[in-house]
Structure 1
């Protein structure tokens, strides 16, 4: 009963296994109730009167990814309601998610979950480097994963680095010494010189960058507000910086010098992502919109996309740049066709529960969605729809 297959779904079973036939309302009725009653959290009480005119009208009728399966054998959990990015995929057979005090690996191929990191007890760094210090009982607030490296941020300012294929924790520390300074976001990127870098954005208004080989602190940039999210352009030169401000910044990733200010959002931002071509950056905001900016002309967003229920808290581009997945705080993940200018077509994935994260596999063939719900939470898997019409015309 914990799993739903594509065959089950076609025969009428709910994607998450919700037994609507035993409830007092249908799925459509409950969706209508949720849309009416869900309260989107706002930090700034600004008028949204002109927002509808700005937003592109998108046709919600396309299907780019078909439902393939879901499992409740592993379940995402969320520590801070504004912070997500708690699900990542390193292949279409390898998914990583935060579950309570663990980072879990889920294999859709073998239908099996295993723990790869436990932070409930004592953590001691295996690398003897400056700044490393033991930690205990960390609540993971955010996570990033690239290749073999997991980086996790903690609710009390912690930073943890672990290699998937090695025992123990390579590096861990407390970034601020202030228990109120949550680590809001972490990122892994490749610098122009080829070195791997780790960034941590924190509530103490500082963005810190570490060398991922010796874990030495390379830079720390201070901003006038708490930093909720950072992401670095594919060439490693520009950093998008978002926080407790309606404005978002683009800065030089090496010097921290501001390059441009992105203006248009009405509330605080918590998500960003770069298109693989390096020219477009997407930002997600508590005003329930995603804005897309061309960094060559960042004076205004060239597209504004409106969510359905609340804040846009997760953004991911597919590796080929064809699609943008925008995860709302709950119930909806939108897949936009970047090749069609984002407004030409959209797939709306409707579910129930807080969305812990959405991630494409590196080949772009699979979209995974993590749902945080005690009963019906789990990992949903969607497969890229392909047109093989040419097979019909083949002569045998």
Structure 2
């Protein structure tokens, strides 16, 4: 995972970033305390990640940072001896911060300005004045509370962890939050609309609630804002296209988009009470589903469970007590399959939970022991699960930023293999038979490797930048990869000489790929972009697709094992939540052929295998009768084909 941008040491000091600011020690200390006060205020206002009280059903329930209304302020150093009396007056007798709203206008911004900052943070934005105060560029309006926390820690001289160092990396491709964008670029003339700030967000939006511009997928009433959703979308596309890096603009010029003519999924529901938290802008695999009743998503140091109906979240993993090198566990990626849930963290740490137990079972915590000493970062960039060919037990593949790929036996919590590659490994996928593996990372080649030895035997060249996502289809032949250059490439394992097709994303950077599972109907490839778009691509011809658009950052995508529901985690601070899309195209494709001069119409399904193959495949979650009720079986007369 390639990261560029200023580290904590390169951030400007507070007093040097302000025009005509005094440079004496007392004034600098005063400004630092002001920044820390702002941090404490914002920390106390962090919005909840789920609605209502959360049941703590993990063994680690007596620690951690609660995310619902009672977040603790960060620990800061006592003021230096040279601090002036007015500044030191804002410290209480135990060395902590006093009530930020008690600050006097004579030495700090008025309380109403702090209140405005709190409201802005809740809406997913930060005032430009606050960004300047903290030495952050004004034009980047997508900082989170974590970014501010890392910056203030740097100012206060607190040693930054690897986690905090990654937080200050600027993402030049990120879209503006929709609230910022609407207020600054998309709203009608002044006075015609009060904007998105005061828009009420329903806890649940269902298919029956949709009323065009009166209520869209995210519950936004565009008619109330005197601007149609279509108009705002068009302005946003134009604006973000203008901000694109030249290399991505060139890709879009060379590759024509495939038409949006398919209808594989339809909107079913959005639950706004559940928000996944993105710890790093390049890592977007923070959602996993094992059924419609079991949805898992990550929020900093916890994994929460809900269902398609939006039930109150329960904590299935509370990782707050686990520290590695003085860094709190932060979930960077997760995966779930059958009875196993596994997460990875920033320092090579991981945790596994058995989902099959009737009783509440503790998770198993561990960390990689063979860290590369030359690497400064050991982030677990991606994890996926597969069944081992020899033991038939679930194994996890952990892709690390230290150029390592490790195989973990989840049943025994032991590493069976460890492989090294030329640079950071960002993602991998194992073939259905467990023999091959595709490996991608901070190198432009796509490596096809022996799954047991890790040895590459094909190096495929198709991308012009680092690759962040890959997937292997259930037919065993099709392999898809997605890169920072905004391209999506599909290969056929029977012919590695050239790619089957090269597509481009809709608008943003593709960060996650999923092929539909076998037995779920027409084969599709789902591409989750970093912001605003999910493309559901025809994986039979790769010449058409369905586009589902929304406003917000994508934290993860997941298909249920039967392929009938596609879940999307939208991490937008105000209009985010978990979206469910339901299958609509059930797989009957009509073909007409001539037989002895007579025209015969037949139906043939477009799944990864024919009905005969599906009946004998243990991965298929539904029998032929259930698939027939959905229209996912194909017959000619009384004969199944």
Aligned ranges 1:138-153 → 2 under 5 Å: 138-153=329-344
2:440 maps to: 242
Q: Are residues 1:191 and 2:388 paired?
A: yes
The CA deviation at 1:104 is: 1.2
2:205 maps to: 4
2:577 maps to: 378
The CA deviation at 1:20 is: 2.2
Equivalent pair of 1:119/1:136 in contact (CA under 8 Å): no
Aligned residue among 161, 179, 182 for 2:379? 182
2:529 maps to: 328
The CA deviation at 1:273 is: 0.7
Aligned residue among 447, 451, 454 for 1:256? 454
Q: Distance in 2 between matches of 1:23 and 1:155?
A: 41
Would you identify which runs of 4 or more consecutive aligned residues in structure 1 move more than 6 Å? 39-42, 133-136, 387-391
Equivalent pair of 2:555/2:569 in contact (CA under 8 Å): yes
Equivalent pair of 2:269/2:580 in contact (CA under 8 Å): yes
Q: Distance in 2 between matches of 1:46 and 1:4?
A: 38
Q: Distance in 1 between matches of 2:284 and 2:220?
A: 24
Aligned ranges 1:128-167 → 2 under 5 Å: 137-164=328-355, 165=357, 166-167=360-361
Question: Which structure dedicates a bigger proportion of its chain to helix?
Answer: 2
1:172 maps to: 366
Equivalent pair of 2:257/2:506 in contact (CA under 8 Å): no
Q: Distance in 1 between matches of 2:562 and 2:576?
A: 25
The CA deviation at 1:13 is: 1.2
2:412 maps to: 214
2:562 maps to: 363
The CA deviation at 1:24 is: 5.9
Larger RCO (alpha carbons 8 Å, 6+ apart): 1
**Paired positions, count:** 377
Q: Distance in 2 between matches of 1:145 and 1:151?
A: 6
Query: Please, what is the CA RMSD of the aligned residues?
Result: 2.6
Aligned residue among 223, 231, 248 for 1:29? 231
Q: Distance in 2 between matches of 1:224 and 1:84?
A: 23
Q: Are residues 1:94 and 2:294 paired?
A: yes
Other structure's SS at 1:156 match: coil
Equivalent pair of 1:121/1:136 in contact (CA under 8 Å): no
Q: Distance in 1 between matches of 2:215 and 2:247?
A: 42
State the TM-score, normalizing by the size of structure 2.
0.55
Q: Are residues 1:103 and 2:300 paired?
A: no
Max Rg structure = 2
The CA deviation at 1:41 is: 8.0
In structure 2, runs of 5+ residues without a counterpart are 1-201, 589-627, 630-641
Identify the range of structure 1 (278-287 vs 176-185) with the bigger mean alpha-carbon deviation.
Answer: 176-185
Q: Are residues 1:294 and 2:488 paired?
A: no
Q: Distance in 2 between matches of 1:41 and 1:139?
A: 30
**Structure 1 residues 350 and 208: alpha-carbon distance in aligned structure 2, compared to 1, 3 A threshold:** same
2:276 maps to: 76
Other structure's SS at 2:279 match: coil
Other structure's SS at 1:324 match: strand
Q: Distance in 2 between matches of 1:209 and 1:94?
A: 25
The CA deviation at 1:136 is: 6.6
State the TM-score, normalizing by the size of structure 1.
0.88
The CA deviation at 1:57 is: 4.7
Equivalent pair of 1:92/1:362 in contact (CA under 8 Å): no
**Structure 1 residues 277 and 388: alpha-carbon distance in aligned structure 2, compared to 1, 3 A threshold:** closer
Equivalent pair of 2:429/2:471 in contact (CA under 8 Å): yes
Question: Which structure dedicates a bigger proportion of its chain to strand?
Answer: 1
The CA deviation at 1:76 is: 1.3
Q: Distance in 1 between matches of 2:256 and 2:311?
A: 40
Q: Distance in 1 between matches of 2:497 and 2:253?
A: 20
The CA deviation at 1:101 is: 2.3
Q: Distance in 1 between matches of 2:311 and 2:272?
A: 11
